Amino acid sequence: VPPSVGLTSFPTLQLVDENGNPIKASDVPVNGQKMAMFNYPLSNEPNYLLNLGNDSNQPVEIPATTVTIPATGKTYEFPGGVGPSKSIVAYSAICEHLGCTYPELTFYPPGVKALTFNGPMDKVIHCSCHGSTYDPYRGAAVVTGPTTKPLPTVQLKWDPSTDYLYAVTMIGPTIYGHTDDLSGGSPISGNSTSVTMLSNPALG
Ligand code: FES
């Protein structure tokens, strides 16, 4: 097994489409009609890009909040959403319980309910492997176990003059499967990372 390459600091990477054209905030599907995924900061670390909305699929402001890590009792500051409606957020797409990812881990839009240990719930990121549930409107905080850690946040930057989006750092617990946030894989070459739009398994 080759040693991990890792990074010495988080890179700023522009979000682009599969042809290399910049993703605009207005391109991000509202309420997970498509699951937009991009790797960051390493080539084997997938993340979800979500434009969160209300029951009418209008983007809603996602406020900054303090998130608790139940496993340790520690807290960190989630910066809130970005974009013209402050509705766009990004989280690790690797479940913090035992590492399931797409399609088992996905966003359940308003009106589409996941079967969680707290009953049917919409507006959650839910993992069908063992039932972990996260609240993407509140920093991907833990709603139900078995996970004891929130999904790590990718902090985004939005340029209002161009509508372009950038990934700038990660916040929160260590990404599942990595010894720390910056090792266990290969850095992404260049200054952009491509966003893939996949169907949302929650929408059947
Ligand atoms: Fe997601 Fe276990 S890996 S709940």
CA 167 – ligand 1 centroid, Å: 25
Inside any domain, residue 123: yes
CA 182 – ligand 1 centroid, Å: 22
Closest residue by Cα to atom 3, ligand 1, is 98
Q: Which of 174, 184, 157 is nearest to 13 (CA)?
A: 157
Q: Is the CB of 127 under 6 A from ligand 1?
A: yes
CA angle, 18 then 22 then 28, to 5°: 80
Per-residue pLDDT reduced to its tens digit, 99-120 = 999 999 999 999 999 999 999 9
Residue 133, strand partner residues = 126, 144
Closest residue by Cα to atom 4, ligand 1, is 130
Atom of ligand 1 nearest to the CA of 98: 3
pLDDT at 2: 42
Is residue 41 predicted with pLDDT exceeding 70? yes
Q: Model ipTM?
A: 0.99
Instruction: State which residues form the domain around 22.
Output: 13-203
Inside any domain, residue 164: yes
CATH number of the domain within which 84 lies: 2.102.10.10
Domain count for the chain, please give it. Answer: 1
Is residue 9 predicted with pLDDT exceeding 90? no
Inside any domain, residue 4: no
Is residue 180 predicted with pLDDT exceeding 80? no
Inside any domain, residue 8: no
pTM to 2 decimals? 0.95
Q: Which of 61, 20, 15, 55 is nearest to 39 (CA)?
A: 15
Query: What is d(CA 36, CA 39) in angstroms, rounded to the nearest whole number?
Result: 11
Inside any domain, residue 57: yes
Full strand arrangement of the beta sheet holding 141-144: 105-108, 124-127, 133-135, 141-144
Question: Are the C-beta atoms of residues 79 and 73 closer than 8 Å to each other?
Answer: no
Instruction: Name the one residue in this structure whose structure tokens are 């260049």.
Output: 190
**Mean pLDDT, the chain, as a whole number?**
94
Inside any domain, residue 172: yes
